[in-house]
Amino acid sequence: MTSPLDTTVCPRCEQSTVRVMTTSPVPGAWTMHVCDTCFYSYRSTEGPTATDPASFPQDWKVDPADIPGMLAMPPVPQRRG
């Protein structure tokens, strides 16, 4: 048995800006969460590396201070002529 999911802190950016995005058609099967800071979303039934801030891979963490300077990927090309 695992401990209840902490849905108040984003696993990726660790901000307290997580909210419920949607819930399963079958009540209680899963809940989808989304972070309003880094837009990471995850389902409550995913493993701890996707849902738990302490287990989320360090290499994939996002510092909220870096978000405004991030590039759009893929870059939008200049219009021709």
Handedness of CA 21, 15, 39, 50 (dihedral sign): negative
Look-up of token digits 């590396």: 49
CB 80 → Zn ion: shortest distance, Å?
Answer: 37
What would the x/- binding string for Zn ion be over residues 51 to 70, using CB under 5 A?
--------------------
Closer CB to Zn ion, 3 or 16, in the complex: 16
Kindly state whether residue 11 participates in binding Zn ion, applying the rule CB under 5 A: no
For residue 35, which of 50, 55, 57, 54 has the smallest C-alpha distance?
50
For Zn ion (CB under 5 A), the number of binding residues is 7
Q: How many CB atoms lie within 10 A of CB 12?
A: 20
Note the residues at the interface with Zn ion (CB under 5 A). Answer: 10, 12-13, 35, 37-38, 40
